């Protein structure tokens, strides 16, 4: 369930529609701020709204990044295994400690 939700949110937030929707919200907030004489409640409203959205988006975007990275590693591993002359020990290298990854390009 979260998988489909995260995909939809990620796709939507990367669209022009989302950008213009966000711009519209800001314009409405600016106009209403003018008529409300920039009250503290009005200013706090946008801060709370943006903080909550940002907090939630961190998890949604990280999920998408994790999925893309995993898929890329699987594809690269398959290409390494299928390529004659490629070093098969490089497949799955991302699961190793940083020190081992640093040493991997030294060995030939």
Name, in order, each residue with C-beta under 8 angstroms of 77's C-beta and a sequence gap of 6 or more.
Answer: 91, 92
Mean residue pLDDT of the chain comes to 90
Our count of domains for the chain comes to 1
Q: What pLDDT is stored for residue 72 in this prediction?
A: 92
Assign 41 a pLDDT band (cuts: 50, 70, 90): very high
pTM comes to 0.69
Residue with tokens 């711009």: 23
Assign 21 a pLDDT band (cuts: 50, 70, 90): very high
- What percent of the chain is modeled with pLDDT above 70? 97
Q: How far is it, in rounded angstroms, from Cα 16 to Cα 12?
A: 8
Vertex 28: Cα angle to 26 and 33 (nearest 5): 95
Name the residue range of residue 60's domain: 2-104
Q: What pLDDT is stored for residue 108 in this prediction?
A: 55
The pLDDT tens digits of the residues spanning 59-97 come to 999 999 999 999 999 998 899 889 888 888 888 888 888
């Amino acid at each position: 369930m979260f998988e489909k939700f995260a995909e939809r949110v990620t796709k939507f937030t990367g669209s022009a529609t989302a950008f213009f929707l966000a711009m519209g919200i800001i314009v409405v907030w600016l106009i209403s701020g003018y008529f409300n004489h920039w009250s503290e409640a009005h200013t706090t409203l946008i801060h709370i709204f943006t903080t909550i959205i940002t907090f939630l988006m961190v998890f949604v975007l990280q999920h998408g990044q994790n999925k893309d990275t995993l898929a890329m590693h699987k594809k690269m591993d398959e290409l390494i295994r299928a390529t004659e002359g490629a070093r098969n020990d490089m497949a799955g290298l991302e699961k190793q400690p940083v020190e081992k990854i640093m040493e991997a390009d030294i060995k030939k």
